Amino acid sequence: MTHIIDGKIIASQLQESLKQQIITLQTDKNITPHLAVIIVGDDPASQVYVASKERNAKNIGMKSTLIRLADNVSQSELNQHITDLNNDKLVHGILVQLPLPKHLDEEMVINLIDPKKDVDGFHPINVGYLHNGQANKALTPCTPTGSIILLKSFCSDLSGKHAVVVGRSNIVGRPIAEMLLQENCTVTIAHSRTQNLGDICKQADILIAAVGKPHFIKADWVKNNAIIIDVGINRIHNTETGKSKLVGDVDFDAVQVKTAAITPVPGGVGPMTIACLLQNTIKAASLSIA
């Protein structure tokens, strides 16, 4: 019988652990981890996501500051906000909600954030630590980190397994491939120009779907008893109900009967992304006094 990897439960367990870590930091070091989030404009999806981050941060006893900027904010004004947060010793984690309006330079913004406060894990220094096998020194990207936790909740030893990652983005595909290598997997990265993609996916003991295309991974692409981590979050219109719903990159109903374990969408990777953001903030606070 297929095991459904419940991200909500595992994220809740992680947050309970983080709550205890915060109490310890407060008791032993008189430090309360502090996350500062900058959001530019009023994109509805970003607003919902940021509100969830703030709510979860406060629920575990973390300090959270939200800075709202107009969508026509200048690059120099945004940069100044980041510089001020970099220089504020009471702020341990900085996150600028992406995507930004087109007139703003995302790469400049990512590079400007102090890597020791870069809780998204996107700064080149953190990327470098991860790829050099020094993840203990890095703040690692939240979605890949959460995906590995979910994977290991079902299979604690990944050594020797063949993992296929479909998607090569800097946010998910590349970092999760590196993390799988560090778990001693054999890793294949597939992408839009990969030939015979279905045949390659069918070789996978572990299949990571991160392409941003609804129901892209079909049942005949999956071998029996594979473990599937579905990173995709796609909103599609349901013609029967007239409403939209969230689905993953995997054709869940068709695929799950073949798998040993699979994450659902929603309720899989999504909750873990926020939990790992909070975990990164606590790590940043701890490193600040190391």
Residues with a catalytic annotation lie at: 53, 97, 120
Pairing mode, if any, of strands 261-262 and 244-247? Answer: unpaired
Distances (CA, A) of 27 to 23, 49, 280: 6, 31, 20
- Torsion sign over Cα 64, 67, 68, 71: negative
Alpha carbon 83 to its chain's center: 24
CB distance 143 to 269 below 8 Å = yes
Query: Alpha-carbon distance 276 to 146, whole Å?
Result: 6
Q: Which two tokens stand for residue 174?
A: 């590349």
Determine the Cα angle at 49 with ends 89 and 231, to 5°. Answer: 110
Distances (CA, A) of 125 to 161, 215, 218, 239: 29, 35, 37, 46
CB distance 164 to 185 below 8 Å = no
Residue 199 CB coordination number (10 Å): 10
